[in-house]
């Protein structure tokens, strides 16, 4: 790339190229798409490690090319960093560009959402088909150059409101006339459906819409009322991967892309029984009557942590939690920016059935201060410098659910180890030798 900056533009690509970008969910969606297409018999080049900048994309394509530069795969599924979109899209000429969402992200790496949208927009060309989040007003506005746009979304849910709350509210006025928007329903951040009472601006209709979520049966129903490749009101009933809203959005994104790619809806339902979200990001184990949930919460990103905290708050029963979101080691010889803690809605963790919260790591005092500001009772909070010690500081008596929350930097060193430690403790203390 240093010797020949235009290398990506001239490198031969697979017959089909899919680029997946967005603030949250791009790695999960990219991996799910890759698994599904491979199950369909396609050979796929994919930067599954999340190395999503220009050099990472180049490396992925080189590894899947012959010595003479011919592609060895049918499809390239490439996760692309939002900042890199402006240069990557024109060089890659993707057939499909997927944008999961554009919401407030890490302060050191991203500016405000409209700035990120501008970077992505600058790389889009009219010949690209865009798969966009209809419930995200910033994301849905992409494609001003005339690209074909396919929209996905999630219909009204019982816990949706019409009044935005929380810290990160980045769209409150009409982008056309600056009148305060009226929300048909609001979900989080600026995700939901809204309209302007003055000029008529409104959220776009979804071509792929989640119309039913059955947590008990682990089933999801997606209606395709406006899709150009289906008959009117065709429906898909499929396996629900994980019952939290972030992953429901990931799943409907996957349906929209696969169907537009040419996979029939009945076949997509079959594929969903054979693929799943990687356990590093979300997994559930059980020992006896106790459930242990491990959940990735993207460190230094307040809105991503808010989604994890919201899911935790919605779980029933008595809960105990370890929180290891220490990013102090992310960049050596750098100073961590802690203002993101105040973009995260720690208020979800107050009065939500969480009886114990043990915070680990060098930045534990910052997290504890934020928990106290959020209204968590001091006698429910403990801190320890060693992250791995958090697993031994929880009392497991009369607990229904244990929550193991960690970030990208310590998936294996902390998250996986603590999960195993909880399983070991429960087996030992309760005499149950089996875990599911």
Per-residue confidence band for 244, with pLDDT thresholds at 50, 70 and 90: confident
Token pair, residue 216, equals 């008990």
* Average pLDDT over all residues of the chain: 91
> Under a CB-based contact definition with an 8 Å cutoff, are residues 71 and 63 in contact?
no
Rounded to 5 degrees, what are φ and ψ at 113?
-60, -35
**For 232, which DSSP code?**
T
Per-residue confidence band for 330, with pLDDT thresholds at 50, 70 and 90: low
Give mean pLDDT, residues 274-280. Answer: 78
Give mean pLDDT, residues 290-318. Answer: 89
Query: What pLDDT, on the 0 to 100 scale, is given for residue 243?
Result: 85
Query: What pLDDT, on the 0 to 100 scale, is given for residue 276?
Result: 81
Query: What pLDDT, on the 0 to 100 scale, is given for residue 347?
Result: 94
DSSP string, 107-163: TTT---HHHHHHHHHHH--TTSEEEEETTBHHHHT--TT--EEEEEEE---TT-BSS
> Under a CB-based contact definition with an 8 Å cutoff, are residues 145 and 110 in contact?
no
Q: How far apart are CA 349 and CA 292, in angstroms?
A: 17
Query: What pLDDT, on the 0 to 100 scale, is given for residue 226?
Result: 57
For the stretch 163-196, pLDDT in tens is 998 888 899 999 999 999 999 999 999 999 999 9
Per-residue confidence band for 228, with pLDDT thresholds at 50, 70 and 90: low
Per-residue confidence band for 213, with pLDDT thresholds at 50, 70 and 90: very high
| Nearest Cα residue to 301 out of 160, 173, 113 | 113
Query: What pLDDT, on the 0 to 100 scale, is given for residue 221?
Result: 95
Query: What pLDDT, on the 0 to 100 scale, is given for residue 167?
Result: 82
Give mean pLDDT, residues 218-229. Answer: 77
Q: How far apart are CA 423 and CA 436, in angstroms?
A: 10
Which range is least confidently modeled, 20-24, 34-38, 286-290, 411-415? Answer: 411-415
91: part of which helix (H) or strand (E)?
Answer: helix 85-92
77: part of which helix (H) or strand (E)?
Answer: strand 75-79
The verdict on pTM exceeding 0.85 is yes
Query: What pLDDT, on the 0 to 100 scale, is given for residue 334?
Result: 63
Measuring CA to CA, how many Å separate 42 from each of 16, 36, 76, 274, 355? 11, 9, 10, 15, 48
| Nearest Cα residue to 87 out of 119, 41, 50 | 119
Q: How far apart are CA 35 and CA 155, in angstroms?
A: 27
Per-residue confidence band for 283, with pLDDT thresholds at 50, 70 and 90: confident
Q: How far apart are CA 249 and CA 189, in angstroms?
A: 14
Query: What pLDDT, on the 0 to 100 scale, is given for residue 333?
Result: 64
Per-residue confidence band for 371, with pLDDT thresholds at 50, 70 and 90: very high
Query: What pLDDT, on the 0 to 100 scale, is given for residue 406?
Result: 92
Say what percent of the chain tops pLDDT 70.
94
Say what percent of the chain tops pLDDT 90.
72
Q: Which domains does the chain have, with CATH numbers?
A: 7-271 (3.40.1190.10), 282-430 (3.90.190.20)
With a cut of 90, say whether residue 297 has pLDDT above it.
no
With a cut of 80, say whether residue 232 has pLDDT above it.
no
Query: What pLDDT, on the 0 to 100 scale, is given for residue 335?
Result: 63
Q: Starting from the edge strand earliest in sequence, which strands make up the sheet with 96-99, in order?
A: 44-46, 75-79, 16-21, 96-99, 129-133, 148-154, 208-214, 219-224, 234-239
Cα-based angle 323, 329, 333 (whole degrees, multiple of 5): 150
Inter-axis angle of helices 54-63 and 85-92, nearest 10:
30
Per-residue confidence band for 35, with pLDDT thresholds at 50, 70 and 90: very high
Query: What pLDDT, on the 0 to 100 scale, is given for residue 434?
Result: 57
Token pair, residue 435, equals 């875990």
Query: What pLDDT, on the 0 to 100 scale, is given for residue 176?
Result: 93
Q: How far apart are CA 155 and CA 193, in angstroms?
A: 9
For the stretch 107-148, pLDDT in tens is 777 778 999 999 999 999 999 999 999 999 999 999 999 999
State the number of CA atoms in the 13 A half-sphere of 269 facing the CB.
11
Q: How far apart are CA 367 and CA 433, in angstroms?
A: 35
Q: How far apart are CA 195 and CA 180, in angstroms?
A: 9
With a cut of 90, say whether residue 431 has pLDDT above it.
no
Query: What pLDDT, on the 0 to 100 scale, is given for residue 109?
Result: 73
Query: What pLDDT, on the 0 to 100 scale, is given for residue 338?
Result: 83
> Under a CB-based contact definition with an 8 Å cutoff, are residues 272 and 403 in contact?
no
């Amino acid at each position: 790339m240093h010797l020949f900056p235009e290398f990506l533009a001239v490198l031969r690509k697979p017959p089909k190229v899919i680029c997946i970008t967005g603030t949250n969910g791009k790695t999960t969606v990219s991996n799910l798409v890759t698994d599904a297409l491979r199950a369909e018999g396609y050979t796929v080049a994919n930067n599954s490690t999340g190395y999503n900048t220009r050099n990472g994309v180049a490396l992925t394509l080189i590894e899947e090319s012959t010595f003479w530069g011919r592609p060895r795969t049918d499809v390239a599924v490439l996760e692309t960093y939002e900042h890199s979109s402006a240069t990557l899209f024109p060089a890659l000429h993707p057939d499909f560009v997927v944008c999961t969402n554009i919401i407030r992200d890490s302060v050191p790496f991203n500016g405000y959402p409209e700035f990120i949208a501008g970077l992505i927009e600058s790389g889009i060309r009219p010949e690209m088909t865009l798969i966009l989040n209809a419930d995200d007003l910033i994301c849905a506005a992409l494609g001003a150059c005339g690209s074909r746009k396919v929209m996905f979304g999630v219909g009204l849910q019982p816990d949706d409101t019409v009044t935005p709350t929380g810290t990160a509210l980045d769209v409150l006025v009409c982008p056309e006339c600056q009148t305060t928007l009226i929300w048909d329903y609001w979900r989080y951040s600026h995700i939901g459906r809204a309209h302007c009472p003055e000029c008529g601006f409104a959220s776009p209709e979804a071509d792929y819409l989640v119309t039913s979520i059955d947590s008990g049966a682990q089933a999801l129903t997606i209606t395709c009322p406006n899709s150009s490749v289906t008959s009117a009101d065709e429906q898909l009933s499929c396996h629900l991967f994980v019952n939290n809203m972030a992953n429901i959005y990931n799943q409907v994104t996957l349906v929209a892309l696969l169907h537009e790619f040419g996979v029939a809806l009945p076949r997509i339902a079959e594929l969903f029984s054979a693929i799943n979200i990687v356990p590093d990001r979300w997994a559930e184990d059980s020992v006896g009557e106790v459930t242990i949930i491990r959940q990735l919460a993207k460190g230094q990103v307040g809105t991503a942590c808010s989604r994890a905290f919201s899911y935790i708050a919605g779980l029933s029963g008595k809960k105990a939690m370890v929180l290891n979101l220490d990013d102090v080691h992310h960049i050596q010889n750098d100073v961590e920016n802690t203002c993101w803690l105040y973009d995260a809605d720690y208020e979800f963790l107050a009065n939500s059935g969480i009886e114990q919260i043990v915070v680990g790591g060098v930045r534990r005092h910052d997290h504890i201060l934020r928990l106290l500001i959020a209204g968590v009772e001091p006698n429910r909070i403990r801190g320890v410098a060693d992250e791995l010690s958090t697993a031994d500081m929880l009392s497991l008596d009369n607990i229904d659910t244990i929550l193991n929350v960690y970030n990208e930097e310590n998936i294996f060193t902390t998250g996986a180890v603590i999960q195993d430690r909880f399983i070991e403790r429960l087996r030992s203390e309760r005499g149950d030798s089996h875990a599911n």
